[in-house]
Amino acid sequence: MAALFIVVLSGLLGENNMTENELALFGSSPAFENILPVGQLYFPSWERYEIAMRGIFERKYYTNQGPLAQQLECRLQDFLGVKHAICVTNGTIGLMMAVEALELTGKVIMPAFTFAASALSLSRAGIEPVFCDVSAETHQIDINKIEPLLDSDVSGVMGVNLWGGICEQVELVKLAREKGLKIYFDSAHAFGCEQGGIKVGNFGDVEVFSFHATKILSATEGGCLCTNDDQLAAKLRNIRSSYGAGEIVDVVKTSNGRMSEAQAAIALMSLDDYSENQQNNYQLFRLYEDRLSQLPGVRLVKPSGVNKSNYQYLVCEIEEQQFGVTRDMLMSILEKENILARRYFYPGIHHYDEYKNLSIRGNVTLPVTDRLCKQCVQLPIGALVSGEAVGKICDIISTSHKYATQIQARVSKSESSLL
């Protein structure tokens, strides 16, 4: 903590004297020796890994809703204050199972600005996604734009909770109930987030979390479905697999959505570390905020609608006119420094081959989503990122702004010399 404090101080007090000549883009050595990816990538120590795996080998219980998967579900129920937590192979399969259990038909309304999996889960289950634009401020689904999209084929709404924040969950549930629609949430980004003392996981018919390695709670791959509805939980358990199905209820079709004991073991340790990892994210988030909030053309997106966040994402909008270079140019600059920033989400799913025609047919315009797909960049935050690393990343970003004109000139010169 002391070290972090010093970094904060030096970040605030120390001037960034870096010039464009020192950028790896122009031949200097990269800021990072090894590639720095985005994604949380927290993982238990080798010693803990070995002990957990030895336990599995001793029990010889590898999958099929074993003791660790059962324990994980109980722990998650306690942690989230939800009646049922149903662990699954990954978040996408969880979303597909939700479609099955809710018996959705026809079309489902969802935000256009989200990871592809949200839409793909619908298509695989035979449902047509209807894309709704999002709020420029929060990036969450714009609740005012839902009504015009409603028709008799729409059977449900999938809310998505982005960037460690939430969409207007309570209002969305209310709207959906009024219209007689099912309402569920893709909460892949929102594990551990809280509003008014209630944790995400308790809203709508069901919420789906991802425990992918890039998320704050990791099972390497994994996920879980949460619901307070006993009947729905029984259905989901029957759809997942016959193992751990509990009460046998009628379902249309089953899947394989099991979580193995190895995945559950990692998730249990990750859950033990949640507070520590959340704190670490928060400190890093603050460092970024201190350095980037004053930078023209950079808007750091804060978790919306929550009073507790997991801070698992660091996302900025880069506005070209004020910042001086485009988002994509900044990405190239960072990449040369071995910082693998990501365009999240790009391309916008409504431009995918399989959805393009839907958007055209429906005469859909999604101006906010289109702008965000051009402007958003995700920066590293998590296990592999130190306070010092944040300092370096921010130095490079502010240098890119400060010397934007020189950078543009040198880049276009070298491009024209290549022609």
Partner 1 sequence: MMKIEVEDLAILGGPKLFEIPKSTSNLTQPRFEQFLEYSREFYNQRQYTNQGPLVQLLEKRLADFHQVEFCVTFCSGFWALVLAISSLKIEGRDEIIMPSLTYRRMADIAAWAGLKPHFCEVEKDTLSPSADSVRKCVSEHTSLILGVHPIVNLADIPGLINISEETGIPLLFDSVESTYESSRFGKIGGFGRAECFSLHASKLVNGFEGGYVTTNDKQLSHRLSALRNFGYTGASGYPIAGGMNAKLNEIHAAMALANLDKIHDQVEHNQQIYRAYRELLQSISGLRLVEFNETGQTSYKNILVEITKDWPLPRDDTVKIINSENILARSYYSPPLHRKNIQYEYIPATLELTDFLSERFILLPCGEHVVENDIVKIAGLFDFISKHGSTIYSSLVRASGGK
DSSP SS3 for 202: coil
Q: Are 339 and 325 in contact (CB under 8 A)?
A: no
CA quadruple 72, 73, 75, 76: dihedral sign: positive
Is the CB of 71 or the CB of 255 nearer to partner 1? 255
The answer to whether residue 90 forms part of the interface with partner 1 (CB under 8 A) is yes
The answer to whether residue 91 forms part of the interface with partner 1 (CB under 8 A) is yes
Whether residue 345 is preceded by a cis peptide bond, meaning omega within 30 degrees of 0, is yes
Q: How far is the C-alpha of 380 from the C-alpha of 391, rounded, in Å?
A: 12
The answer to whether residue 253 forms part of the interface with partner 1 (CB under 8 A) is yes
The answer to whether residue 343 forms part of the interface with partner 1 (CB under 8 A) is no
List the interface residues with partner 1, window 193-212 (CB under 8 A). Answer: 212
The answer to whether residue 46 forms part of the interface with partner 1 (CB under 8 A) is yes
DSSP SS3 for 260: coil
List the interface residues with partner 1, window 360-389 (CB under 8 A). Answer: 383-384
Residue 342 CA, chain-centre distance (Å), reads 12
Question: DSSP assignment of 349-412, as one string?
Answer: GGGSHHHHHHHHHTT---HHHHHHHHHEEEE--STT--HHHHHHHHHHHHHHHHTHHHHHHHHH
The answer to whether residue 155 forms part of the interface with partner 1 (CB under 8 A) is no
Least Å from the CB of residue 51 to partner 1: 11
Part of the chain binding partner 1 (CB under 8 A), chosen from 10-18, 74-82, 147-155, 351-359: 351-359
Q: How far is the C-alpha of 245 from the C-alpha of 329, rounded, in Å?
A: 51
The answer to whether residue 213 forms part of the interface with partner 1 (CB under 8 A) is yes
List the interface residues with partner 1, window 267-296 (CB under 8 A). Answer: none
DSSP SS3 for 110: strand
Among 353, 367, 416, 417, binds partner 1 (CB under 8 A): 353
List the interface residues with partner 1, window 214-233 (CB under 8 A). Answer: 218, 220-221
Binding site for partner 1 (CB under 8 A): 41, 43, 46, 49-50, 53-54, 57, 60, 62-64, 89-93, 96, 116-117, 120-121, 123-124, 126, 212-213, 218, 220-221, 250, 252-256, 258, 260-263, 266, 347, 351-354, 383-384
